[in-house]
Each structure stands twice: as structure tokens, then as C-alpha cells.
Structure 1
Amino acid sequence: MTPPASPTPVPTAVSVVGIGADGWPGLPETARSALRAAEAVIGGPRQLALLPDTECAGERVPWPSPLRPAVPGLLARYAGRRLAVLASGDPMFYGIGRTLTEIAGAAAVRVLPHPSSTSYACARLGWPVEETEVVTLVGRPADRLTAALHDGRRILVLSAGADTPAEVAALLTERGFGPSRLTVLEQLGGDAETAYDGTAARWDHPPGDPLNVIAVECRRAPDAARLGAVPGLPDTAYENDGQLTKRHVRAATLAALAPAPGELLWDIGGGSGSIGVEWLRTHPSCRAYAVERDTGRAERIGRNAARLGVPQLTVVTGPAPAALAELPTPDAVFIGGGLTAPGLLDTCWDALPVGGRLVANTVTLESEALLATWYRRHGGELVKLAVAHAVPVGGFTGWRQAMPVTQWSVTKTAEL
């Protein structure tokens, strides 16, 4: 995230101390010294309660809610004083350390990490950390877990509270992963550490301790749809009214769009949202806006995104190019509908930075002529994609040709 234009006043020293469920006894002397020396200690109520009054005399300041907007003001309030910030486990792993370094700068922050809940959980389970996927549901919808579900994979879910295990079990069952085994590990590293397990489909444990991590050993039900990790999901994975970029063309389109981690896509004429959905499924840090003028289809895009594990897809309801005016600069643009709308191609081209990609698909002669004009002007690649499916012909089998799709793809260069 982009730091503020003017530097935020910061305290003389900001020590970010990771602390576990074992509290003060589990801290190394370096972390204890930072907390003893602090004139003020900021943290969540649970973390602050772990500090002994006899050791830490500094003022205790609970985090306000919402947290991030309050950080610059708190840093300014304690400017010139020694400040410590408490965090659960490793402050740089889905923790406050990231926010503080983004706002104050890495040079102004000293991070003293504690083993993360992920490290503890993998140690208890015997799972290699580097082979275990981590999904956080803290402040995020449970639907995000769906994109990580693949048969045989191991996932650690960072829980949002006591109700999260039951929520995860219900989602797994709904998504066809009811046979998956769940292990809930509570109060990792503390005296009250405990664990219990069961299968998602038969989960009947009551809510337990809010401080928990959920380990998932993914098992797909035999009759559940198999969704791969690359673009080209089955057409049946999408709720649609016929406005859907079909599977084989979709895979070719995503290959031309070439998503990379952190990049942002405009999916114009979203239809069922399949291009934006599969762009986001390529990497958790990718971002996408689906622009759709029809309200019913816009709502359908949201449902598809949630069901396929990318609820972060932003749906913009309105006609293009007018609906594009306030969107952030894209790294890539896909136009799947409305190509002949006045000014649409010009607006998309002008919005792209150098190195940005534009891909447009059409099945009509009028739009094909327009793409041919832009191809002559800007180069790139103009291809026709034709797919035929084998179908019964009496007692035999023949080919049924789908409507061919003309696709123009181009990368914007400084000369164009």
C-alpha cells in the first residue's frame, strides 16, 4: 500500500514485539527489555493482559477500532517517546508489523518476532512449513478458502474466532470437500494448549477458544467437481445465462492476458465474471474489477466469485466507458463485450501504462472489422479461435463447430 505523501511523526523508537499464548515467560530477554523500556505499550486487550505490572510500567494503550486509520495518529501522539507495540506471534506474518513499516518506514521500526501460530501448528502436526498453504480468515470472508481447496493439500486456516471452525467445516462440505479432516489447535504454545479433530461433513464440536488455528487435510468427495489450478475451469462451474467466455477460449484469453502477482485487471462486459474470476485464482495478490451494465448479471458475477474462492473481485455496475472513469490504473484490460461502444477502445488504451496488455474477443463482423483497424494501427496479434465438440450423429459421432472467436491481443509500448 502506498505510504502517505508527508512522513508520519514517529516515536524515538518503535519496538514491535511478538508475543505468544505463553505470555511473558515465553519472551526472550531482548523482547522483555524493549517492553520494560517503553513509555507506552500499544496492543490488543488480550496481549496487554499478558504483561506483568511489576515488569512493564509504561502506559498501556488498547488499539482502537478500526485499527489502521488510527495508526498515524497514535504514532504522532507518542512522537519523541519510547513506544512498544504488541502483536500475536510474528508481527510480519499477517500482523501489525506490515502496517507500521508501511506508515512509519522500515528504518523507524524494530521488529522482534515470536514463533508464529503457523510454525507452532506445523511443529505439532509434523507438517513441513514450506509445503503448507496458509489462508487467513481474520477480517476476510470464508469464501476465500475455496480457491485453496485441492485434493491431498494441507492448509492452515488462521481463525477469526471461536465460530470459525464450524464455518470452515460447513464451507468445505458445501464445496464438495466434506471428507476433509479438520484439526483445531487452541492456545498454541500456552499452558492451555489443546487440540481436537473430526471430518468437515460430521463436524459437531461446539465453539471453543477464540485463539485457534484450523488444520485442513483436503479430501474431495467422489462426486464433487474437480477444479484445477490453471485457467479453463469447466463451464458448469459458473452460474450463467449464456453470457460466458467458454472454457477453451477462456484458457487462451487468460494466457494472452498473462496475469502476474499483484497485477490489476479490468474485465469489461463481465457477463458471468469468468475472466476476472480466473485472473484472481492465479495468485492471491492479483486484483480485478468486473464491469457489467446489467444488474442481474452483475449480481451473478458476485455469486460466481464467492463460490469459486475469489470474493475480492470488485463488481462495477454500469456501462463502459463511463463506468471506467474512477477505476485504478490497470495492468491488463479484457474486453468481452461492447467493443463498438463509442470511445471504449480509446479509453482502455489511454488507461493502460507502457507494458500493459489489452485483449479483446468478438464473434461479430462489425467488431472484428474494428479490431482489424486497431491491429493495423498498433500491431500485436490477431487470431481466430475455433473449437469443435464431438456430438452424436445418429448412431455415429461428428463435430459440432462453436461460433469462432476473433481475438486481438497487444502489449502497449512507448512507441505506440
Structure 2
Amino acid sequence: MTPARPGPPHAVTVVGIGADGWEGLPGTSRTALRDAEVLIGGLRQLDLLPSECMGERIAWPSPLRPAVPGLLAAHAGRTIAILASGDPMYYGIGRALAEEADALHVLPHPSSVSYAAARLGWCLKDIEVVTLVGRPVARVAAVLHHGRRLLVLSADATTPGEVAALLRDRGFGPSRMRVLEQLGGAKERTTDETTADDWPGTHPPGDPLDIVAVECRRAPDALRLGAVPGLPDGAYEHDGQLTKRHVRAATLGALGPEPGELLWDIGGGSGSIAIEWMRTHPSCRAVTVERDSVRAERITRNADRLGVPGLRVVTGAAPAVLAELPPPDAVFVGGGLTVPGLLDACWDALPVGGRLVANTVTLESEALLVDAYRRHGGELVKLAVAHAVPVGGFTGWRQAMPVTQWAVQKTLNPLPGADR
């Protein structure tokens, strides 16, 4: 992609436009739109252009992203101007165009997020931004922390009500809410502040072009979910097949998720490892494999409730289904270790630098991990956790079943300790 700076004409120019329409555009943006032979954008955006913009007008089809290559190819050789809301490179069409266009010139406009922060007096670096345009409202749950400020990009006029309902359901009913509509335009409006608890009776749906501002307040009796792995066991719906909190935190520490990485979670159970992997960063991805359909449905509910609805759940048996999955950056095996060929299939799927972590509580599976440790190296540890419990009128320790954990990183050469 070429830098967005004044220079020779580009085949594709992306022009950011706000609610103030043509009047709010600088001269360079107006010139690009006047000179374009093809004008592409949403119907609302195209309607903002005056008749002096004489290029052929084409409205984006739905779904939008798959149509991008075809539209660019269909008009190759012509001067194209594409309209985008606000800053095209900030939750906009700019990314998709940068992946497809040979030469791209971007003329940004202030984003709705910038306008909202200015109106509210909030510092942008201290705000969590969540977009719900084409995405489920459950994504908001991943960033709910007491005292944090959120700006939620709405899909339409119903989004504020959906956000309020989610806040109430997740124990954040006292959170303060405002809706900012038509930012930067003549019809700009900000609603009075209220709480999510009070939202339904006081705020019917307003303008579809809106952004929701939330100051998070957790209810006193709500379950506290931290920002690091090791969420309370009570955060999960489960049937007993759950990697418990302290072991879960140690397991995520061994897996070491980095932004953008993909995890295979084999034997998902309740989905806790995959869910907390994805909660470490918005770009982290995960696929969980669970052969029991009831548990697979439960994993989906847990992922939705804890703010990572993008978790992919595959109902099937490993290793048979693994060939259908995209290559992983890391693999966690929490069940099925004794299935012939499973551990080797997971190891073979890893790229150099990939990590594998496997947990077990049985002697039969532990023997497999000891053999894998001998062949590939890594670290073999025993995790033991005890909880204080009443013993008559006193207090004593109740030991949980110890967990054997093998953690290893794949390298070009065997790690120290291999074949010992």
C-alpha cells in the first residue's frame, strides 16, 4: 500500500466522510470525489454527495468483504473513489482495500470515536473500543471491568438497548450510559446519562448512526472477572469437566499466548482454556474440539457469556478432525491422551516455535507424557493444589487430584533433555 500523501492520481482513493457530509470534507477529498469515474459506498454515504460528483455510483452489496476483489477487478483501469465512514483505517473498509488494491490513497476524516472522546472529555488512550457492526453484542463482555470506560460502535438503533441488557445480565447494571448520535453532523445529539438498570423505560431506540458510551460499574454482588487467566470456576457452566482455576492459570502461563495466535484446545470440556486464551488479547483465536455434543453446546454458551463469541467449536473426535483445522501456533490437550496417535498428530501439526501443553490426572496418560518428555524434551511438572476446609471445629487441607503437565516448544533441534 502506498502512503496516503499528496501525489500522482491513484487507481483507488478512499475518502472518509462524516455525518456532516459534503460540507465537512476538505478540498482534497472533494477533488478526489469530483474526479472519480466510479463512486463506491453505502447508500447513506452516496446520498451525501452532490450532483457535481458525476462518477458512476455503486452501492456496496451484502456481504461486503467478499465483494471487494470483484468490484475492483470489474472497474480496473478507471479512477475509483470509495466512501467510508470517518477514518477508513480505523474499524473501516480500509484494511480490506489495502489487502486487495495495488495502489491505495487514503483521505481520512475524524472518526466517530474521536468525536465521542472530544464530546465526553475522555482521553482516547484510556478507552476500550468495541465494534458491534456485523458482530455479536457478547463481545462487550470481554472488556467489562469496574471503572473502565467503553465506546461501543453500534450496528443500528437497537444496539444501545442490547448493550444495556448485556450489562445487566453480566452484573454491570449500575454502569452509566450515554448514546451519542450523528456525531459531527447537524443532527448531533447526546442522550442524558442513565444506568443500564434504568435504560429500558427511559430510552427508546433513537438514530441508527450512534455510539454508546459506558462507564463500567460492577454490582456489589456480581462475580469479579479479572484481566488475567485463572477466572473463578463459578464463571463457567460445567458438568465437572473443567480445568480448575489454579491449574488453568498455570496452563495458560505455559501456553504463553501472543496477539494473533491460534490455539487448538483438544478435549474442550467446558472450554475454559480456549476462552481464557482468547480473552488475553482481542486478536487471539482458538478452536476447541469436543466429541460430546452436549458439552460442545455448553462451550458455546460459556464463550458467549465471557465475551469471546468468536471461539470456534468443532464437535468431533481427535485426531480424526484435526486435518480439517487451520495450523495452530499452540496446542492444549486436556482430554483423550490415550487415543492412539493423538499426541503425535498434535506434535506434527505444530510449526517450529509452536508450543504444546498437555495435562492429565491418570497414571496411564502420565506414562504417555513421560515418554513424550523423553523424546522431545520440554518441562514435566506435577501441579498439586490443596484447599482449606472445615474439619469438625477446626480447619484442614483437602488435596485435589494432582495434575501432571508436560509443556514443550518445538524447535529445529531437540531441546536439552530429549532422549534422556
Deviations 1:28-83 (A, max 9, x none): 10101100110110000000010011x21111111111111111111111111111
3-state SS of paired residue (1:161): coil
Measured in 1, the distance between the counterparts of 2:93 and 2:242 equals: 41
Measured in 2, the distance between the counterparts of 1:184 and 1:50 equals: 23
CA-atom RMSD in angstroms: 1.1
**Deviation for aligned residue 1:12:** 5.7
Q: Which amino acid aligns with 1:386?
A: A
Q: 2:110 aligns with which of 100, 109, 115?
A: 115
Measured in 1, the distance between the counterparts of 2:67 and 2:268 equals: 37
- Residues 191-340 of structure 1 mapped to structure 2, 5 A cutoff: 191-196=186-191, 197-203=193-199, 204=201, 205-340=203-338
Deviations 1:70-122 (A, max 9, x none): 111111111111110000000011111111001124xx100000000000000
Question: Does 2:93 match 1:92?
Answer: no
Measured in 2, the distance between the counterparts of 1:212 and 1:262 equals: 29
- Residues 396-411 of structure 1 mapped to structure 2, 5 A cutoff: 396-411=394-409
Q: Is the 8 A contact 2:264 2:331 kept in 1?
A: yes
Q: 2:59 aligns with which of 58, 62, 66?
A: 62
Measured in 2, the distance between the counterparts of 1:138 and 1:351 equals: 34
Measured in 1, the distance between the counterparts of 2:37 and 2:94 equals: 19
* TM-score computed with the length of structure 2 as normaliser: 0.95
Q: Is the 8 A contact 2:12 2:101 kept in 1?
A: no
Q: Is the 8 A contact 2:10 2:104 kept in 1?
A: no
3-state SS of paired residue (2:97): helix
Measured in 2, the distance between the counterparts of 1:128 and 1:408 equals: 44
**Deviation for aligned residue 1:409:** 0.2
Deviations 1:190-219 (A, max 9, x none): 000001031101103111100000000000
Q: Percent identity, aligned pairs only?
A: 77
Q: Which amino acid aligns with 1:321?
A: P
Deviations 1:294-338 (A, max 9, x none): 011001000000000001100000111001111000000000000
* TM-score computed with the length of structure 1 as normaliser: 0.96
3-state SS of paired residue (1:291): strand
| Structure 2 residues not aligned, in runs of 5+ | 2-8, 415-420
Q: 1:190 aligns with which of 185, 191, 202?
A: 185
3-state SS of paired residue (1:201): coil
Deviations 1:249-289 (A, max 9, x none): 00000000000000000000000000000000000000000
Q: 1:26 aligns with which of 19, 24, 37?
A: 24
Q: Which residue of 1 aligns with 2:376?
A: 378
| Structure 1 residues not aligned, in runs of 5+ | 4-10
Measured in 1, the distance between the counterparts of 2:332 and 2:122 equals: 40
Across the two proteins, how many residue pairs are aligned to each other? 404
Moved over 4 A (4+): none
Q: Which residue of 1 aligns with 2:76?
A: 79
